[in-house]
Amino acid sequence: MAQAAEPEMYTRELESDIQYLPGVGPKRAALLRSELGVARIGDLIRVYPFRYIDRSSVQRIADMPLDAAYVQIQARVVRTLLMGAGGQIIYARDENGALRGDGSVPGYASARPTEADEKAVGSIKFNQVKRLCVIVDDGSGTLEMVFFKGIRYAFDRLQPGQTFLFFGKPSVFNGHVNMVHPEIDNPILPGSGTGAVMTGVYNSTDKLRNGGITGKVMNKLMLSALNLTLPEVKETLPDYILKEKGLVSLPYALQHIHFPTDAYALQKAQYRLKFEELFLLQLSLLKQKYIRSRHERGIPMPLVGKDFNDCYHALPYELTGAQKRVIKEIRADLMSGHQMNRLLQGDVGSGKTMVAVLTALIAVANGCQACIMAPTEVLAQQHFANISKYLRPTSVQVALLTGSTRTAERRAIHQGLEDGSLGIIVGTHALIEDTVVFRRLGLAIVDEQHRFGVDQRARLWAKNADGIPPHVLVMTATPIPRTLAMTLYGDLSISVIDEMPPGRKPVETMLITERRRVALNRFMRDQIALGRQVFVVYPLIFESEKLDYKNLEQGYERMVHDFPFPPYKLAIVHGQQSAEEKKFNMDAFAAGRAQILVSTTVIEVGVDVPNASVMVIESAERFGLSQLHQLRGRVGRGSDKSYCILVKGDKVSKESQKRLDLLCSTEDGFVLAEEDMKMRGPGDLEGTQQSGLPISLNIASLAKDGRILSDAREYADHVLSRDPMLESPENQLLAAELRKEKYQKEDYSKIS
């Protein structure tokens, strides 16, 4: 079917360079480009306010709350004073004219001027004036307005005896209540009908403000831009969507998002623009997913096989309902004839590895090989040890391939992969080397996917079977909020293990300060005396002059002093060690030869020592919430009561304290992830957004607009179910939108 011509979405004024908007010019245009990414007038109207100020309410000075973010008062100017260096009054005036000092005016030395004083106003040297103080009165009290910039303009405008609207943040200085650089407007006159206005507040920077683009200027520019461009704005959504979803038109939404006439109009505008943004994003992702599922062949795997059943029935425990559900979802993918691309989410210790093993056994039963790729040797070794244990009841051969695998062993592994005698291979980046050739790779499982580059993963998928790409299962132990997962992995199928295995004991989490070090050491000794082991984790490896935090070197020395040999034995692991050193020390701890492991976050994932019941995290405020949760997951794996002790510094920010308190309040990784996103925004989530969102969001928030996102995704699925390629005439607007540059990302959907 021939592709319809793209509608002319942006016409003359919308496409005009921003410098030609009245009030901008070349200098301000350069600022708007560099600070806000605004190059055209059409770009400006898509910069939305992040909050609104109700300019219709006026407060009395006597009732003004001093802690308010802003207040608006209407008051009469009673006195203005030009102040020089050291607080000297250079010139003052009230409603009767100029004043000079004799102490008769409360708070200011002043008296009625002579004729010479009256003439002095014309000879004021404003370059010597440091600030302008304006005393205003609204009948309930007086307030001081202070100006450090634009003094001449404010002095000329604010004539004593005249009434103005003043808008700003109240503050207290030297016992005086004042308002620094308030916005000034003409007064609201009785019966005028003016003033019922909600004013948008836009994100700004110091460079913008210093360049003269203040909040008030931004509002003026926005009004000018809307007046020029609104007649040209074309609709981006088909009529049937506007009707079915009850959405206002795009011109209405743009007008009222910037200058709402009331709260209802603002609500309608916000919903329209948020829905549009999230709907088009999800439409783009789901369309990619649909194209792939239709056209990407997958190796059919109808058999479960004897090895699967032997492994399953030999398990010492029953799989959780969540694990069984996820395996059924994976089975359906493997039998579909299309390539599986599935994200497996699960909290720390939820049993993802067991699901991976059973999936790999299905691949082997169907004449294929499976590889499990981990980001670190420590994690790869841990996987290999666990998988080898699970595979004992089966006939399947498994091997470990890492950068430190010896040459002779490596040769044997390469041979086993080529001739097919090796059914499952566990490894690190070594698996993507050109020398590694599979006989028939049918399944690629990647753990902690965010730690691998896209190109690295692509090289693994290229090792396919008969030109058919392997099925892909991506595993992450970092719980991702549902709204973020739907966006980051929108073109992947998502499975969630949201249930913990039976017998997994809760970890008691405590927050202490450095002052309780003696009590902490005593507690650690008591636990070691009971036969337990202890992790101690530090945020830094080497000393940094800029960061006043305990680091690994100093910490290890102190631990050796506090826990001397004998009877205590310590091991140390960090990223600067060779693979042999790390393995030696980790093995010593895992085997119980060392009671304390001092480490950096290299043990964040994959380390499984059931006898370790205490996790001590030094300078805990230095870690992100997901990191802290991952570290806590290293304990609580055995039958003993386990503890996570967060040691914080004396000076901790409010945000860090909130993060630490939250960790102490719950062990649910998905709850923590949701709260973390609300506190810090999706852009900062560790381990879940390394490559950023598929498109930048201008108005919608993944943290706050989850309901709209779910609705948008469901509706996008509904639209594509009727017209998968958006070829019908009624969907030409949607097809045109998706052809825009921001949706033309390189399609890595085939390689997760």
Q: 367 or 94, which is more confident?
A: 367
Comparing C-alpha atoms, which of 271, 347, 361, 364 is closest to residue 310? 361
- Give the model's pLDDT for residue 535: 94
Rounded to whole angstroms, what are the CA distances from 708 to 144, 276, 483, 684? 46, 10, 10, 22
CB contact burial 534-555 (16+ within 10 A = b; e otherwise): bbbbbbbeeeeeeeebbbbbeb
> Left if phi > 0, otherwise alpha if psi is -120 to 50, otherwise beta: which for 116?
alpha
pLDDT at 274 over 70: yes
Instruction: Rank 272-281, 294-303, 486-495, 647-656 by mean pLDDT and report only the highest.
Output: 272-281
- What is the predicted pLDDT for the residue at 601? 76
Question: Encoding tokens for residue 219?
Answer: 């509002």
What is the mean pLDDT of the segment spanning 431-442? 90
466 Ramachandran zone, left/alpha/beta (phi>0; psi -120 to 50): left
Local confidence band at 691 (pLDDT 50, 70, 90 cut-offs): very low
Banded pLDDT at 482 (limits 50, 70, 90) = low
Q: Looking at per-residue confidence, does 196 or 561 come out higher?
A: 561
The pLDDT, as a whole number, for residue 540 is 67
324: which DSSP letter? H
pLDDT at position 527 is: 95
For residue 111, is pLDDT > 50?
A: no
**53-58: average pLDDT:** 76
Percent of the chain with pLDDT over 70: 84
pLDDT band at 123, cuts 50/70/90? low
State how far Cα 98 lies from the chain centre: 57
CA atoms 406, 409, 414, 420: torsion sign: negative
Per-residue pLDDT, 448:
67
The mean-pLDDT minimum among 335-339, 377-381, 563-567 falls in 377-381
Average pLDDT over residues 272-277: 96
Kindly indicate the confidence band of residue 480, based on its pLDDT and cuts at 50, 70 and 90: confident
- The pLDDT value recorded for residue 216 is 82
Distance in angstroms (rounded) separating the CA atoms of residues 118 and 113: 7
The tokens of 284 are what? Answer: 């783009």
Q: How far apart are CA 9 and CA 235, in angstroms?
A: 8
pLDDT in tens, 618-643: 999 988 887 888 889 888 877 788 99
Given a contact cutoff of 8 angstroms between Cβ atoms, the answer to whether 261 and 244 are in contact is: no
Whether 357 and 367 have beta carbons less than 8 Å apart is answered as no
Residue 100 pLDDT greater than 80, yes or no: no
- Is residue 105 very low, low, confident or very high in pLDDT (cuts 50, 70, 90)? very low
Cα distance between residue 448 and residue 352, in whole Å: 11
Least confident of 4-8, 33-37, 614-618, 704-708: 4-8
Cα atoms found within 13 Å of the Cα of residue 158, Cβ hemisphere only: 35
Above 80 in pLDDT, residue 296?
no
| Residue 94 confidence (pLDDT) | 85
* 730 φ/ψ sector (left φ>0, alpha ψ -120 to 50, else beta): alpha
Which positions ≥6 away from 570 have C-beta within 8 Å? 556, 559, 560, 563, 594, 595, 596, 597, 598
**pLDDT above 50 (res 114):** no
The tokens describing 48, both together, are 């939305």
350/637 Cα distance (integer angstroms): 11
Residues 6+ apart with CB under 8 A from 270: 257, 699
Residue partners of 119: CB distance under 8 A and separation at least 6:
none
**DSSP secondary structure string for all residues of 214-254:** -HHHHHHHHHHHHHHHGGGPPPSS-HHHHHHHTPPPHHHHH
Residue 107 has pLDDT above 50, yes or no: no
Mean pLDDT of all residues in the chain? 83
Query: Cβ atoms within 10 A of the Cβ of 443, count?
Result: 28
Which whole number is the average pLDDT over 461-469? Answer: 76
Average pLDDT over residues 439-454: 75
pLDDT of residue 364: 96
Handedness of CA 159, 164, 169, 170 (dihedral sign): positive
DSSP string, 623-669: S-HHHHHHHHTTSS-SSS-EEEEEEE-S---HHHHHHHHHHHH---H
Strand 507-513 to 471-476 pairing = unpaired
* pLDDT surpasses 60 at 383: yes
User: Once rounded to an integer, what is the mean pLDDT over residues 297-326?
Assistant: 92
The string of pLDDT tens digits covering residues 147-166 is 988 888 889 899 999 999 89
Residues 362-385: what's their mean pLDDT?
90
Helix H or strand E segment including 426: strand 424-427
Question: Which of residues 315 and 271 earns the better pLDDT score?
Answer: 271
Please report the pLDDT score of residue 636 as a whole number.
Answer: 82
According to the model, what pLDDT value does residue 522 have?
95
Least confident of 191-200, 349-358, 725-734: 191-200
Helical H segments across 430-492, by residue range: 454-461, 482-488
Query: What are the CA-CA distances from residue 676 to residues 306, 374, 480, 668 (Å)?
Result: 44, 26, 10, 12
pLDDT of 192 higher than 80: no
Compute how many other C-beta atoms are within 10 angstroms of the C-beta atom of residue 674.
19
pLDDT tens track for 20-53: 999 999 999 999 999 999 999 999 999 999 888 7
% of the chain exceeding 90 in pLDDT: 42
Q: Nearest to residue 649, comparing CAs of 549, 732, 740, 743?
A: 549
Peptide bond into 567 cis (omega under 30): yes
What would the mean pLDDT of 642-666 be, rounded to a whole number?
A: 90
- Of 348-352, 571-575, 660-664, the range with the highest mean pLDDT is 660-664
Q: What is the mean pLDDT of residues 406-413?
A: 93
Token pair listed for 277: 């943004």
Q: Which residue has the higher pLDDT, 522 or 553?
A: 522
Which tokens go with 731?
A: 């969907």
The model's confidence at residue 443, banded by pLDDT at 50, 70 and 90, is very high
Looking up tokens 């450090």 gives: 148
For residues 384 and 608, give the distance between their C-alpha atoms in angstroms, rounded to a whole number.
12
- Residues 355, 344 contacting (CB under 8 angstroms): yes
Phi-psi region of 274 (alpha: psi -120 to 50; beta: other; left: phi over 0): alpha
Indicate the range of 160-164, 439-443, 468-472 predicted with least confidence.
Answer: 468-472
Collapsed DSSP state (helix, strand, coil) of residue 10: coil
Q: Which two tokens stand for residue 424?
A: 């499952």
Average pLDDT over residues 480-501: 75
Q: Which stretches of 391-497 are DSSP H helices?
A: 407-419, 454-461, 482-488
Collapsing DSSP states into helix, strand and coil, what is residue 91? strand
Pair of tokens at residue 585: 């020390």
Separation between Cα atoms, residue 551 and residue 542, nearest integer Å = 6
Between CA 378 and CA 608 the distance in angstroms is 10
* Domains, the chain, with CATH or none: 57-195 (2.40.50.140), 306-336+350-476 (3.40.50.300), 507-666 (3.40.50.300)
Instruction: Report CA torsion sign: 696, 698, 701, 707.
Output: negative
Instruction: Using alpha carbons, list the distances in angstroms from residue 210 to 11, 37, 207, 213, 290.
Output: 32, 18, 5, 7, 49
Q: Cβ atoms within 10 A of the Cβ of 642, count?
A: 24
Give, for 481, the enclosing helix (H) or strand (E): none
Residue 424 · residue 400 · CB < 8 Å: no
Residue 446 vs residue 749, higher pLDDT: 446
What does the pLDDT look like over 523-579, one tens digit per residue? Answer: 999 999 999 999 999 886 555 544 444 577 788 888 999 999 889 999 988 877 887
Check residue 541 and give its pLDDT: 53
Q: What is the pLDDT of residue 623?
A: 85
pLDDT digits (tens, 9 = 90+) for 132-151: 999 999 999 999 999 988 88
Distance CA 550, CA 541 (A): 9
CA dihedral 687, 690, 696, 701 (to 10 degrees): 10
422, 339, 432: which is closest to 388 by C-alpha? 422
